[in-house]
Amino acid sequence: MGYRLKTFSVSFVSEPGQSPVGYPVRSAEDLERVARAIFADLDADKEHFVLLVMNNKNRINGFKVIATGSLTATLVHPREVYAAALNLTAAAVAFVHNHPSGDPAPSQEDIEITRRLKEIGDIFGIRVLDHVILGEPGRYFGFSTRGLL
């Protein structure tokens, strides 16, 4: 009897001229900078939810696109988020998603999923550093900088 093990690959994208390995995350601005490079390869007309995984020194180890939705929404389940975080041995995580409308203001659903993901992270002992919503270029919303995390 044979067994199959489903795996996925993890990659990292950074700004040109910067080493992607070990990129430190100190702020929402750092997350926004890294995320813009990741989202450049994704469909701009759909919402995407991305998990960024950090080590204990807040240096990025990798990322995974957790969900891709429609123009106005994407379905994110904590099970998929934390399955990936555990597979990538995360000490800390950050979440990033985009609003194709260009307005990065969080919806009530964004606030609720962030709260749930933070609670589950606390249970697992994985620090949730931030949730950043990308809008049009130059505009983003960071939950941690607004005191919502």
Domain residue extents for the chain: 29-142
Stretch 98-117: mean pLDDT: 95
Q: Which letter, b or e, does each residue of 115-141 get, where b requires 16 or more Cβ atoms within 10 Å of its Cβ?
A: eebbebbeeeebbbbbbbbbbeeeebb
Say whether pLDDT at 136 is over 70.
Answer: yes
CATH number of 29-142: 3.40.140.10
Q: What Cα–Cα distance (Å) separates residue 124 from each residue in 8, 71, 86, 112?
A: 22, 32, 9, 19
CB-CB neighbours of 2 under 10 Å:
3
Amino acid at 133: I
Say whether pLDDT at 12 is over 60.
Answer: no
Stretch 69-95: mean pLDDT: 93
Q: How far apart are CA 33 and CA 68, in angstroms?
A: 20
Q: Is residue 105 within 8 Å of 6, Cβ to Cβ? A: no
Provide the terminal-to-terminal Cα distance of the chain, rounded to the nearest Å.
Answer: 48
pLDDT of residue 22: 73
pLDDT of residue 7: 55
The DSSP call for residue 125 is: T
pLDDT of residue 14: 46
pLDDT of residue 121: 97
Q: Is residue 101 within 8 Å of 70, Cβ to Cβ? A: no
Which range is least confidently modeled, 2-6, 23-27, 47-51, 66-70? 2-6
Say whether pLDDT at 2 is over 80.
Answer: no
User: How would residue 23 be classed by pLDDT, with cut points 50, 70 and 90?
Assistant: confident
Residue whose pair of structure tokens reads 């962030």 in the numeric block: 114
pTM of this prediction?
A: 0.83
User: How would residue 18 be classed by pLDDT, with cut points 50, 70 and 90?
Assistant: very low
Say whether pLDDT at 115 is over 70.
Answer: yes
